[in-house]
Amino acid sequence: MHRETDQSLTSLRYLLAEKLGIAVTQISETVAAKAAREPLYLHHLITCRSDAFLRDLLLREALTHRLPENDNRQASSELLRKAAGALTSWLAAGAQFVDEESFSNRLAACNACEHKIPAPKVALYRLIQTRHICDICGCDVTKKAKLRSERCPDTAAGATGRWP
């Protein structure tokens, strides 16, 4: 399963390099992992892509963080694949966050939902500092609620899920 995690990070590195207009060798696994776990960091990278000084500063800053040992590689590999998919959708949709009111409404719906559970002790959740996840999709509820391209997966609550 370690190989699948490596392949997911490699795919994410290539996607980031393409979006930033730089060589894939400039995107480390640490940068890719930070971009997957921190939407604001990714937003800053995208916003600064045409300013080489700021972009490179952000790329170097990410290298100060180390990836933890992965004690549950199968689960982390699947989560990383899902995160890469969400990241791809978010980038394709223009890398937009929802406004504060929408974010508050989405988060309130998640907080009231029976599918919000404490994050299991999986290395990737620890890496991205996840406290609660949706047990339908496995996403960090706070991070998912910020991304305009994401939808609530609870189709039992209606065609559009629980989010207004």
pLDDT tens digits, one per residue of 106-145 = 999 999 999 899 988 877 777 778 899 988 888 889 999 9
Structure confidence at residue 73 (pLDDT):
44
Which ranges of the chain would DSSP assign to H, the alpha helix? 2-20, 29-37, 39-47, 52-62, 73-92, 100-111, 123-127, 141-146
Asked whether residue 1 carries a pLDDT value surpassing 50, the answer given is no
pTM, rounded to two decimals:
0.55
101: which residues sit within 8 A by CB, 6+ positions away?
Answer: none
Residue 5's pLDDT is: 55
Question: Over the stretch 23-61, which tens digit does the pLDDT of each residue have?
Answer: 999 998 888 888 887 788 888 888 888 888 888 888 887
Domain assignments of the chain as residue spans, ordered by start: 2-152
Report d(CA 19, CA 31) in Å as an integer: 14
